[in-house]
Every structure is written in structure tokens, then in C-alpha cells.
């Protein structure tokens, strides 16, 4: 959504906030709100004004204070926040989690991720989280992303509304984006509010603080409407980014290949045999959209660019990308997003690695390789009755297996059959084939073999599904 087209700097008041909440965001009068409450001037003004809105509505308000442990007095600040909330008759939830950052990591980014992760933990789907981001924050974010050479999605800056975290059912709203920092300060002073002054906000070693304290005051003397102009730039970028997402979503739908989806896939594979007419930006956008469809945040631009170079420029058959325990894999001109794949490591009674296990045709879970198997009926195949009384086994590849094809005298390599049928390597190696009386009778992606391949009556086949994910 987009706030009404008014320049930042309008007076902040209880009435103005009420109009934004109920007209722009279309919240109900009994909405359940969770305020990300630092105790700073901005969140203090927001919480105080919300308490004023509550007087004429049935709003339920909870303040959520996250103590990052980054300042020596942070525990004292948490107590202050509880006291201010008590004065407003607002429930206050606090938590302390120290944020640790490795060398080269952004302390701000890690703290933000931890804070939003905690809010996701404590919020219900029907609650709405409010943050106190304002027009000056938007202007600074736009400049930061511009200086870093970010894409249009990042130049769109701080969205007025979005899911709390990727894939969340809880909404995040920013009702103060229309207002300048100085307007929030004026409201706080006019109501004799107290607030916390975090000394780190004056540290110009942080890029945002450098822009805020060193650059913006100089530029605004030359361009008094600079913040409004930068906010318009973010709005225009958001419109363009939304159009790009729609285009990428349409391309993603066009390139999706449900028939190629395998046992370990998290989303339909993405066909790449039609991308020759697309530019680098479009290909990367489609891949990003495809990963989002699976419910995961996209990898960095650098990771996507590496994958693009492997696929498009070098056409590497081994192209892959680790993604938070998942794997993007390239095979047969398709991209696959797969869950973790574990090579079977079964143990025999003697403690030796076993590559074959007995199966009584009942549903079976095999945690060692993260799969379950059951016998399913099909329109063609083998009548389950003829399997009764036979030795049925599940066996994993060891290399060099040869099988008989449909009453033919000669035998063929199972590996060659997998290649002909274009079965992805991670499925060939991690899904067992079926042996009947110690002969390979069925293989995933290949079907029934030997004497069983000619069956025409309604029959059965093993079906695999992932577990422990």
C-alpha cells in the first residue's frame, strides 16, 4: 500500500495518526497492535499518540522492547520503558538478547534481524506490528542504498506496509512515514514526554549517522525540500519495483515445470531453455522470484550473480548455490531448489554399512536418508498381489548395476537408463530401487523393469516423500 500523496512535514497529532490507521491502513477499531518500542523519541511519540487514539476505539496495544545488549545502560533503559508504558496503561513485553557480529558484519543489520525475528516469535497472525520509521529515515535509507549502488528494490526503501518477516502472516505497518523527525520531536515536547537518547545515534562512524548529522544539514540549506524529494524518489522506485516483480512473477510462472518436480524439490523446477532472450537483470529477477515462491528470502545479489555466470556464461553442469541449508542445483537446463539430501547411511546388525533393507510393503520411514516410502496404486504397473510371498528389498546404488529391459535378453546399465530418463543425480543416488527376489525390478524415474515392465493391468509402485525437514 501507499500513504496518501501528502508531503512529509505535516503536523503529527492523535487525529492525524487515527486517520492514517483507519483510512490509509484500513485497520479495524478493535485491531491488536504491537509497537516496536525502543523508548526513543520517535517510538515514544507513536506510543503516546496511540494511547490517545485508543480512548475512542477498542484498540489493543502492546509495547515490545528489544534489549540488544549493545550499551552498558540498556537494562536500565528497559526498566524505563516499562515505567512509561505503565503510565499509559499499556502492556510491555521485554527481552534481552545480545547481538554478536563477526568481522565485516553490520551490527545494525544483525540487530535489526534479531529484533524482527523476536517480534515474529511473540506475535499472532491477527496482530499488526507498528514501527516508528519516519520521513527522515526514508530519505537516509534512499541515499544509503543509492551510494551503495543497490537495485531498484532497495531504492524503494522503507515500505509503508509489508509482512513482518519473509513469508509471515503478521503485517508490519509504518504509520509515521509521512512525518518529519522534527514534527515528532515537537509532539513529544508539547506533551512533556521523556525519552531515551542512545549515544550510538551520534556516532558518525555509522554510515546512516554520517548522512544524518554531516550531509543532510548541509544539503537541506541548499535544498529545503530535500527530504520530501528523496521520499518521492523512494515512492517512484517502489512503483517501478512493483511492476518489475509482476513481470518477474509472470516469467516465473511461464518457466515453471511441474512435471520435472522430484522428491526433494521445494518448488516446481525452473526451466532455463527459454532465457536466451532475457538480459542479466531479468534472469536474476526470475530466480529471485522463484526462490520467494518456495517461501525463502532471496540470496544476495552477489550470490545470484555468481549463479547467473555459472549457468548462462559458462553453462556449468555443476552449478549450485548453498542457501541456508537448502541447495539451488542446475541439471538438464533446469534449476532445482532442494531440501537437504542425505546419502543413506544405514547400519546392519553387524554394525557394517548396509545398502539393502527388507520391505514388507507397509509404509516405511527411513530417517537415515530423510525419506518415507509407501506402495501406491496406479493405472498401470504391477498388481500388488503378485508381490506377495516374494522377497522385497529396497537397495541403494553402489555403481555398476545392470538391469533387464522388458523380456529382452541383454541387460543395460542402470546409470545409462537414469541418464536417458534425465533423473537428477541427487535422486539417482539417494532414492533406493526395488528388488524382487534379489533382482532389480523397479527404479525411480525409470519404472518397472524386466518381467514386470509389460504389466498392463492396474497396479502399484513405490512412492517416496521427504521427512525430517
Element (H, E) at 439: strand 439-443
CA 401, CA 317: separation in Å to the nearest integer? 24
CA 290, CA 299: separation in Å to the nearest integer? 12
Beta bridge partners of 91: 62
Do the Cβ atoms of 8 and 231 come closer than 8 Å? yes
Question: CB under 8 Å to 60, separation ≥6 — which residues?
Answer: 30, 31, 32, 33
Dihedral pair phi/psi, residue 411, rounded to 5°: -115, 155
- Each of the 469 residues of the chain gets a pLDDT tens digit; together they read 555 545 555 699 999 999 999 999 999 999 999 999 999 999 999 999 999 999 999 999 999 999 987 788 889 999 999 999 999 999 999 999 877 655 555 677 778 888 999 999 999 999 999 999 999 999 999 999 999 988 888 899 999 999 998 888 999 999 999 999 999 999 999 999 999 998 888 999 889 999 999 999 999 999 999 999 999 999 999 999 999 999 999 999 999 999 999 999 999 999 988 777 888 888 888 988 998 888 887 778 888 888 888 877 776 777 778 877 788 888 888 899 998 776 655 544 433 345 889 998 889 998 888 899 998 876 555 666 677 778 989 999 888 888 887 666 678 899 999 999 999 999 988 899 999 888 898 899 988 888 777 655 446 788 999 886 5
Do the Cβ atoms of 426 and 339 come closer than 8 Å? no
CA 167, CA 295: separation in Å to the nearest integer? 6
Amino acid at each position: 500500500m501507499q500513504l496518501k500523496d501528502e508531503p512529509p512535514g505535516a503536523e503529527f497529532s492523535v487525529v492525524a495518526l487515527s486517520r492514517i490507521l483507519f483510512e490509509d491502513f484500513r485497520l479495524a477499531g478493535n485491531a491488536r497492535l504491537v509497537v516496536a518500542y525502543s523508548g526513543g523519541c520517535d517510538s515514544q511519540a507513536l506510543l503516546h499518540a496511540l494511547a490517545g487514539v485508543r480512548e475512542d476505539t477498542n484498540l489493543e496495544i502492546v509495547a515490545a522492547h528489544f534489549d540488544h545488549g549493545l550499551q552498558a545502560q540498556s537494562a536500565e533503559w528497559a526498566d524505563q520503558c516499562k515505567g512509561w508504558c505503565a503510565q499509559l496503561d499499556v502492556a510491555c513485553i521485554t527481552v534481552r538478547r545480545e547481538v554478536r557480529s563477526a568481522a565485516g558484519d553490520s551490527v545494525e543489520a544483525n540487530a535489526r534481524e534479531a529484533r524482527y525475528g523476536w517480534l515474529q516469535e511473540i506475535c499472532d497472525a491477527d496482530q499488526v506490528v507498528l514501527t516508528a520509521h519516519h520521513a527522515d529515515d526514508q530519505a537516509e535509507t534512499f541515499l544509503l542504498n543509492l551510494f551503495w549502488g543497490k537495485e531498484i528494490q532497495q531504492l524503494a526503501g522503507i515500505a509503508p506496509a509489508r509482512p513482518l518477516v519473509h513469508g509471515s502472516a503478521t503485517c508490519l505497518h509504518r504509520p509515521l512515514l509521512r512525518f518529519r523527525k522534527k514534527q515528532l520531536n515537537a509532539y513529544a515536547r508539547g506533551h512533556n514526554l521523556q525519552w531515551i537518547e542512545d549515544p550510538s545515534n551520534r556516532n558518525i562512524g555509522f554510515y546512516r549517522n554520517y548522512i544524518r548529522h554531516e550531509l543532510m544539514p548541509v544539503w537541506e540549506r541548499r535544498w529545503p525540500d530535500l527530504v520530501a524529494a528523496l521520499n518521492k524518489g523512494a515512492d517512484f522506485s517502489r512503483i517501478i519495483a512493483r511492476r518489475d516483480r509482476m513481470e518477474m512473477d509472470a516469467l516465473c510462472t511461464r518457466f515453471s515445470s511441474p512435471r520435472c518436480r522430484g522428491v526433494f524439490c521445494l518448488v516446481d523446477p525452473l526451466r532455463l531453455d527459454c532465457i536466451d532472450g532475457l538480459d542479466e537483470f531479468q534472469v536474476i529477477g526470475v530466480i529471485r522470484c522463484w526462490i520467494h515462491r518456495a517461501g525463502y528470502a532471496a540470496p544476495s545479489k552477489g550470490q545470484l550473480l555468481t549463479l547467473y555466470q555459472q549457468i548462462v556464461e559458462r553453462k556449468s553442469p555443476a552449478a549450485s548455490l548453498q542457501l541456508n541449508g537448502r541447495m539451488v542445483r542446475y541439471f538438464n537446463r533446469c534449476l532445482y531448489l532442494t531440501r537437504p539430501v542425505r546419502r543413506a547411511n544405514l547400519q546392519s546388525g553387524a554394525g557394517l554399512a548396509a545398502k539393502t533393507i527388507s520391505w514388507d510393503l507397509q509404509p516405511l520411514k527411513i530417517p537415515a536418508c530423510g525419506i518415507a516410502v509407501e506402495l501406491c496404486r496406479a493405472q498401470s504397473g504391477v498388481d500388488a498381489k503378485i508381490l506377495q510371498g516374494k522377497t522385497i528389498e529396497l537397495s541403494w546404488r553402489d555403481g555398476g548395476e545392470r538391469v533387464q529391459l522388458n523380456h529382452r535378453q541383454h541387460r543395460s546399465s542402470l546409470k545409462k537408463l537414469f541418464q536417458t530418463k534425465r533423473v537428477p543425480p541427487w535422486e539417482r543416488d539417494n532414492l533406493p530401487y526395488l528388488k524382487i527376489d534379489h533382482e532389480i525390478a523397479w527404479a525411480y524415474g525409470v519404472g518397472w523393469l524386466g518381467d514386470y515392465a509389460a504389466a498392463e493391468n492396474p497396479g502399484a509402485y513405490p512412492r517416496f516423500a521427504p521427512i525430517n525437514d
